[in-house]
Chains A and B, each alone.
Chain A
Amino acid sequence: MNDIIRRDPRTEWIARNRLHPEHDAVLARMGGSTPAAKWMGPNGIIRRNPHAVGFIGPNGVRRIDRSGAQTANAGASARREAAAAPTRRQIRIETPAFYVAVVADMPGGRLSAHDRDVLGLARQLADEDSAGQGAVLLVSFGESREDALGDAGVDRVVSFAGERFEGYAPEQRLTALGGVERQHEPRHWLFPDSSLGGAELGRRLAARLGERPATQVWQIANGECTGRGAAGATDVTRRLPRIVLALPECAEPVSESTHAAESIAPPAALPQALRRIEDLGAVAVDPSSVALAEAEFILSAGNGIRDWGGFHRAASVLGATEGASRVAVDNGFMPRHRQVGATGTWVTARVYLAVGISGAIQHLQGIQQCDKVIAINTDPGCDMVKRADLAVIADSSEVLAALVELVDGVKKEQRNAA
Chain B
Amino acid sequence: MLDVVLPVLVLGALALALLGALRRIGLWRQGRPSPVSVLGGLAAMPRRYLVDLHDVVARDKVFANTHVATGGGFVAAAVLLILVHGFQLESRVLSWALIAASVVMFAGALRVAARRRNPPVRLSRGPWMRLPKSLFAFASGVFLVTLPTAGVVPASFGGWALAGVLTLVVAWGIAEMFLGMTWGGPMKHAFAGALHLAFHRRPERFGGGRSTGLKPLDLGNPEAPLGVGKPADFTWNQLLGFDACVQCGRCEAMCPAFAAGQPLNPKKLIQDMVVGMAGGTDAAYAGSPYPGKPVGEHGGDAHSAIVLRGGHEGGRALVDAETLWSCTTCRACVEECPMMIEHVDAIVDMRRHLTMEHGNTPNKGREVLENLATTDNPGGFDPASRMNWAADLDLPLMSARGSADVLLWMGDGAFDMRNQRTLRALVKILRAAKVDFAVLGNEELDSGDVARRLGDEATFQALAARNAATLAKYRFREIVTCDPHSFHVLKNEYGAFGASYTVSHHSTFISSLMEKGRLALGEWTGGRVTYHDPCYLGRYNGEYEAPRKALKGIGIKVVDMERSGFRSRCCGGGGGAPITDIPGKRRIPDMRMEEINATKADVVAVGCPQCTAMLEGVVGPRPEVLDIAELVAAQLVAAPAAAQRAKKDVAEEVAA
Binds A, one of B150-158, B175-183, B184-192, B575-583: B575-583
Chain B 410-424 residues near chain A, CB threshold 8 A: 416-418
Inter-chain contacts of B581 with A (CB < 8 A): 343
Check A343–B363 contact: CB distance below 8 A.
yes
Instruction: Flag A355-368 by CB within 8 Å of B: 1 or 0 each.
Output: 00000111000000
Complex CA distance for A204 and B587, rounded to whole angstroms: 53
Chain A 326-372 residues near chain B, CB threshold 8 A: 327, 330, 336, 342-343, 360-362
Complex CA distance for A368 and B619, rounded to whole angstroms: 21
Smallest beta-carbon distance B43→chain A, Å: 50
A303 within 8 A of B: yes
Check B583–A336 contact: CB distance below 8 A.
yes
Inter-chain contacts of A360 with B (CB < 8 A): 616-617
Smallest beta-carbon distance A139→chain B, Å: 42
Check A362–B583 contact: CB distance below 8 A.
no
Inter-chain contacts of B364 with A (CB < 8 A): 342-343
Please name the residue on chain A nearest to B587 by beta carbon. A330
Please name the residue on chain B nearest to A346 by beta carbon. B367
Smallest beta-carbon distance B263→chain A, Å: 15
Check A303–B583 contact: CB distance below 8 A.
no
Candidates A303, A336, A362; contact of B619 at CB < 8 Å: A303
Chain B 357-371 residues near chain A, CB threshold 8 A: 363-364
Task: Report the interface size for chain A: residues with CB under 8 A from the other chain.
Answer: 9
Inter-chain contacts of B616 with A (CB < 8 A): 360
Inter-chain contacts of A336 with B (CB < 8 A): 583
Candidates B418, B579, B583, B587; contact of A361 at CB < 8 Å: B418
Inter-chain contacts of A303 with B (CB < 8 A): 619
Known contacts A343-B363, A343-B364, A343-B578; is-contact A362 B587 (Cβ 8 Å): no
List 6 A-B pairs, Cβ < 8 Å: A330-B587, A343-B363, A343-B579, A360-B617, A361-B613, A362-B617
Majority-rule SS of B interface residues: loop
Instruction: Flag A120-163 by CB within 8 Å of B: 1 or 0 each.
Output: 00000000000000000000000000000000000000000000
Complex CA distance for A330 and B617, rounded to whole angstroms: 13
Smallest beta-carbon distance A245→chain B, Å: 29
Complex CA distance for A170 and B364, rounded to whole angstroms: 38
Inter-chain contacts of B613 with A (CB < 8 A): 361-362
Complex CA distance for A342 and B581, rounded to whole angstroms: 11
Inter-chain contacts of B587 with A (CB < 8 A): 330
Please name the residue on chain B nearest to A360 by beta carbon. B617
Check A361–B417 contact: CB distance below 8 A.
yes
Inter-chain contacts of B417 with A (CB < 8 A): 361
Please name the residue on chain A nearest to B583 by beta carbon. A336
Taking A303-B619, A327-B619, A343-B578 as known contacts, 13 extra A-B pairs with beta carbons closer than 8 A to each other, sorted by chain A number, are: A330-B586, A330-B587, A336-B583, A342-B364, A343-B364, A343-B579, A360-B616, A361-B416, A361-B417, A361-B418, A361-B613, A362-B613, A362-B617
Inter-chain contacts of B363 with A (CB < 8 A): 343
Inter-chain contacts of A327 with B (CB < 8 A): 619
Chain B 537-595 residues near chain A, CB threshold 8 A: 578-579, 581, 583, 586-587
Complex CA distance for A336 and B362, rounded to whole angstroms: 14
Looking at chain B, what size class is its interface with the partner chain? 10 to 19
Complex CA distance for A327 and B364, rounded to whole angstroms: 18
Inter-chain contacts of A342 with B (CB < 8 A): 364
Inter-chain contacts of A330 with B (CB < 8 A): 586-587
The 4 A-B pairs with the shortest beta carbon distances in the complex, nearest first, are A343-B581, A327-B619, A343-B364, A303-B619
Complex CA distance for A336 and B581, rounded to whole angstroms: 11
Please name the residue on chain A nearest to B585 by beta carbon. A330
Smallest beta-carbon distance A117→chain B, Å: 31
Complex CA distance for A343 and B617, rounded to whole angstroms: 12
Inter-chain contacts of B416 with A (CB < 8 A): 361
Smallest beta-carbon distance A369→chain B, Å: 13
Q: Max chain A CB contacts within 10 Å: which of B418, B616, B619?
A: B619
Complex CA distance for A353 and B583, rounded to whole angstroms: 26
Complex CA distance for A233 and B578, rounded to whole angstroms: 33
Smallest beta-carbon distance B18→chain A, Å: 54
Please name the residue on chain B nearest to A303 by beta carbon. B619
Inter-chain contacts of A362 with B (CB < 8 A): 613, 617
Inter-chain contacts of B583 with A (CB < 8 A): 336
Q: Max chain A CB contacts within 10 Å: which of B364, B417, B617?
A: B617
Complex CA distance for A360 and B578, rounded to whole angstroms: 15
Inter-chain contacts of B578 with A (CB < 8 A): 343
Complex CA distance for A327 and B618, rounded to whole angstroms: 9
Please name the residue on chain A nearest to B620 by beta carbon. A358
Chain A 282-337 residues near chain B, CB threshold 8 A: 303, 327, 330, 336
Smallest beta-carbon distance B371→chain A, Å: 12
Complex CA distance for A60 and B418, rounded to whole angstroms: 65
Chain B 606-649 residues near chain A, CB threshold 8 A: 613, 616-617, 619
Please name the residue on chain B nearest to A365 by beta carbon. B379
Smallest beta-carbon distance B584→chain A, Å: 10
Inter-chain contacts of B579 with A (CB < 8 A): 343
Chain B 400-418 residues near chain A, CB threshold 8 A: 416-418
Smallest beta-carbon distance B649→chain A, Å: 41
Complex CA distance for A26 and B437, rounded to whole angstroms: 69
Instruction: Flag B152-170 by CB within 8 Å of A: 1 or 0 each.
Output: 0000000000000000000
Complex CA distance for A330 and B583, rounded to whole angstroms: 9
Please name the residue on chain A nearest to B579 by beta carbon. A343
Complex CA distance for A360 and B622, rounded to whole angstroms: 14
Please name the residue on chain A nearest to B416 by beta carbon. A361
Q: Max chain B CB contacts within 10 Å: which of A303, A327, A342, A362?
A: A342
Chain B 380-418 residues near chain A, CB threshold 8 A: 416-418
Please name the residue on chain A nearest to B584 by beta carbon. A330
Inter-chain contacts of A343 with B (CB < 8 A): 363-364, 578-579, 581
Chain A 7-22 residues near chain B, CB threshold 8 A: none
Complex CA distance for A362 and B586, rounded to whole angstroms: 18
Q: Max chain A CB contacts within 10 Å: which of B416, B581, B586, B616?
A: B581
Smallest beta-carbon distance A361→chain B, Å: 7
Smallest beta-carbon distance B421→chain A, Å: 12
Inter-chain contacts of B418 with A (CB < 8 A): 361
Smallest beta-carbon distance B617→chain A, Å: 6
Complex CA distance for A406 and B583, rounded to whole angstroms: 39
Complex CA distance for A303 and B590, rounded to whole angstroms: 15
Complex CA distance for A343 and B589, rounded to whole angstroms: 15
Please name the residue on chain A nearest to B379 by beta carbon. A365
Inter-chain contacts of B619 with A (CB < 8 A): 303, 327
Smallest beta-carbon distance A333→chain B, Å: 14
Complex CA distance for A342 and B379, rounded to whole angstroms: 9
Complex CA distance for A343 and B583, rounded to whole angstroms: 12
Please name the residue on chain B nearest to A330 by beta carbon. B587
Smallest beta-carbon distance B573→chain A, Å: 12
Please name the residue on chain B nearest to A336 by beta carbon. B583
Smallest beta-carbon distance B440→chain A, Å: 25
Smallest beta-carbon distance B90→chain A, Å: 73
Complex CA distance for A336 and B583, rounded to whole angstroms: 9
Smallest beta-carbon distance A66→chain B, Å: 46
Inter-chain contacts of B617 with A (CB < 8 A): 360, 362
Please name the residue on chain B nearest to A363 by beta carbon. B617
Complex CA distance for A362 and B416, rounded to whole angstroms: 10
Smallest beta-carbon distance B76→chain A, Å: 55
Complex CA distance for A327 and B590, rounded to whole angstroms: 11
Please name the residue on chain B nearest to A343 by beta carbon. B581
Complex CA distance for A254 and B540, rounded to whole angstroms: 68
Complex CA distance for A336 and B364, rounded to whole angstroms: 13
Smallest beta-carbon distance A42→chain B, Å: 62
Smallest beta-carbon distance B432→chain A, Å: 29
Instruction: Flag A384-395 by CB within 8 Å of B: 1 or 0 each.
Output: 000000000000
Instruction: Flag A185-223 by CB within 8 Å of B: 1 or 0 each.
Output: 000000000000000000000000000000000000000
Complex CA distance for A362 and B589, rounded to whole angstroms: 15
Please name the residue on chain A nearest to B580 by beta carbon. A343
Smallest beta-carbon distance A320→chain B, Å: 24
Complex CA distance for A362 and B619, rounded to whole angstroms: 13
Complex CA distance for A104 and B392, rounded to whole angstroms: 50
Instruction: Flag B418-450 by CB within 8 Å of A: 1 or 0 each.
Output: 100000000000000000000000000000000
